[in-house]
Amino acid sequence: MTLYRPVGLKELELIAQSGFKAFPPRLPIQPIFYPVLNFEYAAHIAREWNPKDPVSGFVGFVTKFEIDDEYAAKFPVQVVGGRVHEELWVPSEEMDEFNSHIVGKIVVEAAYVGEKFGGEIDPQTNLPIERQIKWAKELKSS
C-alpha cells in the first residue's frame, strides 16, 4: 500500500537520521500516527499548515512510502472530512512494528516553503539544500 505523510523540517531530519527507513517515535502528546492515503490530502496539510508553523520550521514536506499490504490491512481506513481525507490511525506504541513493515525508502515527493523559512529547497530532490549532502551520506551508510 502506498501512503503519504506530511512532515515539517524537524520530523524530516529524524527520518533522514534513520536512513529514510523509519518515522520517529511519537511524542507523549501524540497518541496516534496518521499516514494518509493520497498525495492530495498530504499536500494540502504540508502546503497550508506547515509553512505557517514555527514548530515545522516554516516548511512542509510530503513523504511517500510503501507498507506491506497485509500489515496495513489491520488499520481500517478512517475518513475525517471529505472523501480525500483518508488516513490510517496507528497507535503510537506500534511505531516500531509499523516501521518494520515499510518497504524500501521513504521519499520526499514535494516541499512547500513559507515566507519565514530560512533555507532553500532543491527543486529536483525537494530537500533543503543545506542538508542534502549530510543526508546523502546517511543514506549511503544505511
| Per-residue pLDDT tens over the stretch 59-94 | 999 999 999 999 999 999 999 988 889 999 999 999
User: In the predicted model, is pLDDT for residue 140 greater than 80?
Assistant: no
d(CA 80, CA 78): 6
- Model pTM score: 0.92
Which cell goes with 130?
543545506
Burial of residue 51 (CB within 10 Å: 0-12, 13-18, 19+) is buried
Which pLDDT band, with edges at 50, 70 and 90, does 141 fall under? low
Nearest in space to 4 (alpha carbons), one of 33, 31, 41: 41
Report, as an integer, the average pLDDT of 32-56. Answer: 96
Q: Which of 12, 34, 49, 7 is nearest to 95 (CA)?
A: 34
Please report the sign of the dihedral spanned by the C-alpha atoms of residue 100, residue 1, residue 70, residue 73. positive
Q: In 3-state terms, the chain is what percent helix, strand and coil (to 5)?
A: 35, 25, 35
Residue 142 has pLDDT above 80, yes or no: no
Count: domains in the chain: 1
Q: Highest mean pLDDT range out of 16-20, 86-90, 136-140?
A: 86-90
Q: Which domain holds residue 48?
A: 2-141
Residue 72 neighbours by CB under 8 Å, 6+ apart: 1, 3, 88, 101
How confident is the model over 112-116, as a mean pLDDT? 96
The mean pLDDT value for 34-43 works out to 97
Q: Are 35 and 22 in contact (CB under 8 A)?
A: no
* 136 pLDDT above the threshold of 90: no
